[in-house]
Amino acid sequence: MAQTLDMQQAQRAIDTIRLLSADMVEQAQSGHPGTPMEAAPIAYLLYNRHMRYNPRNPDWAGRDRFILSCGHASALLYSMLHLSGYDLSLDDLKNFRQLDSPTAGHPEFGHAPGIETTTGPLGQGISVGVGMAMGARFLQQRISEELFDYTIYGLCSDGDLMEGVASEAASLAGHLRLGNLVYLYLDNKITIEGDTDLAFTEEVATRYLSYGWQVQHVEGENVQDLDRAIEKAKHSPRPSLIIARSHIGFGAPNKQDTAGAHGAPLGGEELKLTKQFFGRAPEECFNLPTDVTAHMGEAISRGTELEAIWQKTFANELKENTDLAAWQKAAAGELPAGWDDLPTYAAGEKLATRQASGQTLNALAGKLPFLLGGSADLGPSNNTTLKGEDSFTPCSVGRNIHFGVREHGMAAVLNGLAHTPGLIPFGGTFMIFADYMRPPIRMAAMMGLRTIYILTHDSIGLGEDGPTHQPIEQLPNLRAVPNLTVIRPGDANETVEAWKAAIANSQGPTALILTRQGLPTLDRNEFGAAEGLQQGGYVLSKEQDDLQAIIIASGSEVSLALAAQEQLQQEGIGTRVVSLPCWELFEKQTQDYRDQVLPPECLNRVAVEAASTFGWERYVGLKGKTIGMQSYGASAPAGQLMEKFGFTIENVIETAKEILS
């Protein structure tokens, strides 16, 4: 533990944090003042007594991490970052929630130093923290026990604990005995609608004990007891939950312990009374006493010294630890030479793209030691198991992660793993269950994290499981997410290229959309090279004679398009087939390239994709047509379903002729 706690000094700092946060919300006339005011003692103790960090190097790999899962309390985090010496000015705090300010309404990763992850949707921060703790444990046991012995701290609220994603992740954390995870829960009994008894009366402590967590109870205003509880949690072999009975809006005489302190400024008069309660001048705003700033600013020298010790240890270990050297390059964003030298597939072989994906994934795993992941209990179906690798368990840290049937939690945990320097995480499930994953997928895209989603059983082609398992609208839904790269390869060799694109994409997440059913492997001597996938779309098969029609397809419908083209051209209709596995990559190409693939003068276009037709208008135009799903599927063998819903050679030919006529 740090030196003896000076209670007078601590209380001065805590009260300053409270009022600074309240001033930010009041000036913005928007925000949540009550939670920062109640949580100030916890934040003070973490940043001044327990956490290892360096404000002058916020990305120091050996630092402890702090996650404000209740992101609506962002004013608290900004206050702490400013007072602790991060590059966040008082003017930035005064511009809280304003356009182009780094102090957004909820913490946004990359907007200001010291923000470890984007939070806002409740429960996501808790779950990301589980992934961060798993990443730390992986590095600690696989690379260096001393260098990566850091702790993940989180602050959470009633709302966080009500969200199902937090339960999924907390259950996994308890199972894995992640002792480097410490959460402090603000048990203030208040939600926006009023008392938590309206909807939340469970025994939280009992639930977390059943997950396998250490649980402690403290009074939120008892700084010394909080200090001891945090110290105890740091040394627990299990994840820890500290339940702090706190008081929202502490010090506001008329709004403390009410919903009125939750989602709106205190108001001018109430804020003046609050400042009087804390013995401060009621008319002063953004007042930072010099003794408080000096005390809190000691974090700079303390952090610089801590990092210097770590860097010395790092330099010494680097001389003999080849794994550490490999991690250093991976953390810098480097991929090893030859990583993309992958097997290719012979023409004629029929293979599901999920199978080709599994084989490619295993080839990549031999070249990329920090590639790890698994499935939501669907490893054999998703082909996500890394052969010859151990599992990530309470006793070992293999590269095969068993997420259990927890799709939402899995996707959020992947974000935490992706926040861990050097790691490339992947997670798989049936594509239909991407609906359960959407919030953390969106967060990954917003933060630009390199997470990879392996989504198999991608259409009605999965067959007998029926419409509950057949994704129809999921493909356009995923394409609607900004900065998410969605790739639906058409054969085994396109699948290899899809994996190359996913690994190379360090600026955001990638979703690989894969079939259950076997697809013919195309003869690349006859058709366009599979490397064309890197441009998102390419001419797979050129027209004979003059171009009269274009058939555009992705995934399992590519071979159907080629079969239709053959018959159309036998009838003298010059037809081109374009494989368009990734809209996002295609849109990044030059207009000249896109016009070469889809000549604007040829408006006779048919798109073929076993999903909702939504969005295809951008490529087929007003004259063209899309063969897709207009309803849910049905339970039957895949071949019968394809025929029933119009994915036949005859229908593609008839549709093309209809446009031409």
Q: What's the rounded Cα separation, in Å, for the pair 200 and 568?
A: 64
Give the list of residues 6+ apart from residue 528 with CB closer than 8 angstroms, or none.
538, 539, 540, 541, 579
Q: Phi and psi of 578, rounded to 5°?
A: -110, 125
In the chain, the amino acid numbered 608 is V
- Centroid of chain to Cα 104: 19
Q: What's the rounded Cα separation, in Å, for the pair 99 and 170?
A: 35
Helix or strand (DSSP H, E) at 475: helix 474-479
In the chain, the amino acid numbered 106 is H
DSSP 321-357: -HHHHHHHHHHTT---TTTT------TT-EEEHHHHH
In the chain, the amino acid numbered 265 is P
In 163-279, where does DSSP find H-type helix?
164-176, 204-211, 223-234, 268-277
For residues 418, 424, 425, 426, the Cα torsion angle rounded to the nearest 10 degrees is 130
Cβ 122 vs Cβ 158: under 8 Å: no
Closest CA to 563 of 443, 656, 659, 472: 656
3-state secondary structure of 397: strand
3-class SS string, 622-649: CCCEEEEECCCCCCCCHHHHHHHCCCCH
**Residue 407 appears among annotated catalytic residues:** yes
Instruction: Say how many CA atoms lie within 13 Å of 10 toward its Cβ.
Output: 21
In the chain, the amino acid numbered 649 is I
Determine how β-strand 575-579 pairs with β-strand 152-156.
unpaired
Q: What's the rounded Cα separation, in Å, for the pair 19 and 252?
A: 10
Determine how β-strand 391-392 pairs with β-strand 181-187.
unpaired
Closest CA to 532 of 573, 617, 593, 612: 593
DSSP 56-107: T-TT-TTS-EEEESSGGGHHHHHHHHHHHT-S--HHHHHTTT-TT-SS-SS-
- Centroid of chain to Cα 380: 24
Q: What's the rounded Cα separation, in Å, for the pair 217 and 320?
A: 45
Q: What's the rounded Cα separation, in Å, for the pair 326 and 430?
A: 33
Identify the residue whose tokens are 């609050």: 274
Q: Name residue 215's beta-bridge partners.
A: 241
Q: Name residue 612's beta-bridge partners.
A: 629
Instruction: Say how many CA atoms lie within 13 Å of 498 toward its Cβ.
Output: 38
Closest CA to 611 of 505, 498, 480: 480
Identify the residue whose tokens are 């087939």: 577
Q: Phi and psi of 611, rounded to 5°?
A: -155, 175
* Catalytic residue of the set 168, 307, 407, 494: 407
> 598: burial class by Cβ within 10 Å (0-12, 13-18, 19+)?
buried
Q: Which residues are catalytic?
A: 407
